[in-house]
A and B are shown apart, each in its own frame.
Chain A
Amino acid sequence: MTTRRAILGDLGALSLLGLTGCGGSGSGHTLRNVSYDPTRKLYEEINHRFVAEWEKKGHGEWNVEQSHGGSGKQARAVMDGLDADVVTLGLALDIDAIASRAKLVATDWQKRLPYNSCPSTSTIVFLVRRGNPKGVRDWDDLTRPGVAVITPNPKTSGGARWNHLAAWGYAMESTGKNEAASTQFLRQLYKNVPVLDSGARGATTTFVQRRLGDVLITWENEAYLARREFAEDGLEVVTPALSIRAEPPVALVDVVAQRRKTVEAATAYLEFLYTKESQHLMGQHGFRPSDPEVLAVEFASLPTPRMLTIDEDFGGWPAAQAKHFAEGAIFDQIYEPGS
């Protein structure tokens, strides 16, 4: 029967896709770095240099595999058994989940490496169209009627959570810490959002390629990347006066690395991220190097907003998550019918 054959064909196609997903590794040892979306090109360069140096020290033949996707999705994949020697994700909450729920990472992971285990940071900025036709300068411009704002869904995107919290931080400061008024501010802002993409990269595509919206709220590194890649569009980066320090952390996945006998190499790999060489590379890719000397060199000509931090201003990720993004929390209240 033709139908049946067609369905079998469908299944066949699916399983083929599944297979190509798991790329084979060459000879020698492999180290797997499970990361989030915007770091793909950065780690391609870093891996190349790390392998050269590591092999030079006489550790045999090595190869670093990269895996990229939404931060939360990557964390779930690791918890469900994707063998990652190191994770380099978008927010500490996701590594916390790997530590507390799957117990693959020691709970004190964030204290094991310098700068709270964040070799680089970023912040949240605005990307606007050529000449900034809507005159967007700061957060309150995003709530004006007629300004279309693109930001992904904070329920599915780690990046969008930083965006949401930065806006909240601004609202709290400008309303004298009035939570009801701040919620109203966010409600106005989200009213201007025509599409909630499921991830940060999807939102960039919506803004840059579909030409939807007047402002894209995004990571600073993503904004500089988009401006460079689509230079002919004349996109402009607007840095608000107040923003948030986005801290994408890294960690050794103890249980996996011990089983795969890669602890030494994985530890060296993470330490390599803090070398001057890597720090400069991060700066060139639009991430703010945590090493203050390198930061001063790489970001000399770029504006720096005053930055709130997740730990000092929001009481850490678990508190921020519960208050804003859990079921029935502020984000859900904003979208409740009739609100």
Chain B
Amino acid sequence: MSLRPRRLLPGFGLTLGYTLFCLSVVVILPMAVLLWKAGVYPTDQLWAAVSNARALASYRLTLGCAFAAAVLNTIFGTLVAWCLVRYPFPGRRFIDALVDLPFALPTAISGIALTAVYAPTGWVGQYLEMVGIRAAFTPIGITIALMFVGLPFVVRSVQPAVADLDPAVEEAAAILGASRWQTLSRVLAPQLVPAALTGFTMAFARGLGEYGSVIFIAGNMPMKTEITSLLIITRLEQFDYAGATAIGCVMLLGSFVLIFGVNGLQAWWLKRQGAA
């Protein structure tokens, strides 16, 4: 008789081995190669590549636009998820499927389509131009493109959380005398925040690295509308592998710190909820 506790599902060794193997080959290996490549070049060359004015401007732009897009997506994506789960209406399944479209569409196609719509001569762009807003070839255009690619992350994260909400809880809150606002802020929101945070993180992270959908609408002006991914491509185009690798590492570390931070925030939130 073994003293080890019995596991409900057999094959832990096999599945863990498979998990580690997959993660190593698919995720860790390319990252390790990137860092290893960076180690080959002299440090001052790497530092010069990541710390010049153009690179700094591109980080500000990329972070700013990805953050703005992720915040807007978190608000509207949560609304979309709520609407899709809670209200039956004709065509709901169709709209539900539509949400995934940005996942499936090649990003270059969405980029070209968005530019066509928001360019000063485009369907929407010409009206924006009338009220003095230029969308395409400015940070606004970049944010729009990032909202497009990021929306499904939020909707798909929040949807199951909304589905898990028991309407009886809301009824109970109402019976106990909570106003609509109190129900929303004290009863519903706390249960949705972790899922919304997950969606936010994924949309944000995706926005940081996005290239295809942004490149056509961005305008690519140095110091103004040049995203970090373009800077990497620019370096590669000059066969400057050191510079490209260095900026790539900055993106990698930045994204990692970000995801780690939000995961920590989420854990803290859940703990607080449990304690309350």
Contact = CB atoms under 8 A, between A and B. Distances in A.
Interface in B204-241: 215-216, 219-223, 230, 233-234, 236-240
Interface string B148-168: 000011001101100000000
B121 A6 contact: no
A52 interface: no
Given A209-B116, A335-B54, A335-B223, A156 B160 contact: no
A7 B159 CA distance: 15
Interface stretch (A115-123, A133-141, A196-204, A299-307): A196-204
Contacts of B243: 327
Nearest to B125: A210
Nearest to A325: B238
A9 B220 contact: no
B157 A3 contact: yes
B103 A13 contact: yes
B239 A196 contact: no
Nearest to B234: A155
A10 interface: yes
A76 B232 CA distance: 14
Given A101-B239, A212-B119, A198 B215 contact: yes
B104 interface: yes
B137 interface: yes
Contacts of B220: 153, 195-198
Contact of B216 (A202, A321, A336): A202
A6 B100 contact: yes
Interface in B221-276: 221-223, 230, 233-234, 236-240, 243
B98 interface: no
B106 interface: yes
Nearest to B230: A198
Interface residues on A, range: 35 or more
B83 interface: no
Nearest to A9: B103
Contacts of B223: 335, 337
Contacts of B103: 6, 9-10, 13
B252 to A, nearest CB: 19
A156 B156 contact: no
A70 B238 CA distance: 13
A211 interface: yes
B120 interface: yes
A289 interface: no
Interface of A: 1-3, 6-7, 9-10, 13, 17, 70, 72-73, 76, 97, 101, 153, 155-156, 194-198, 202, 205, 209-212, 321, 325-327, 332, 335-337
